[in-house]
Amino acid sequence: MILKKPYAFLIKNFKIIHIILSIMIFSIITMFGKISGFFSSYAKENIIGSLGLAAQYINNFLYILIIIIILFSLAMFLLMRRKEKPLLFYVLLFVYYLVLL
């Protein structure tokens, strides 16, 4: 069903898909907030040591979430382009998370 009529699937489950996408984006924002806080305190306190201390804030889950969002936005972009619908949001989402990765 999804492969035959992907646009119909997206319209039927539009809210659920975007709620899941929002949850993933929110979790990435909180993870990067912790990373930003670490580097901010690191710069203020002038800690001597390696930057390997930040490794506890960056894990594989973060990379997986970013890749899922990139793939989703790319798929939505291609689908919206095919259906000649507005696609600026998905282009910006794709570019932002590609740069973030």
Spell out the SS3 assignment of the chain. Answer: CCCCCHHHHHHHCHHHHHHHHHHHHHHHHHHHHHHHHHHHHHHHHCCCCCHHHHHHCCCHHHHHHHHHHHHHHHHHHHHHHHCCCCCHHHHHHHHHHHHHC
* pLDDT score for 32: 84
Predicted local confidence at residue 48, as pLDDT? 56
Q: Examine the pLDDT at 96 and tell me if it is beyond 80.
A: yes
Identify the pLDDT of residue 61: 84
Give the pLDDT confidence of 2-55 residue by residue, as tens digits: 566 777 777 788 788 888 888 888 888 888 888 888 777 776 676 555 556 666
The DSSP code for 51 is G
Overall average pLDDT of the 71-89 stretch: 82
The per-residue pLDDT for 101 is 81
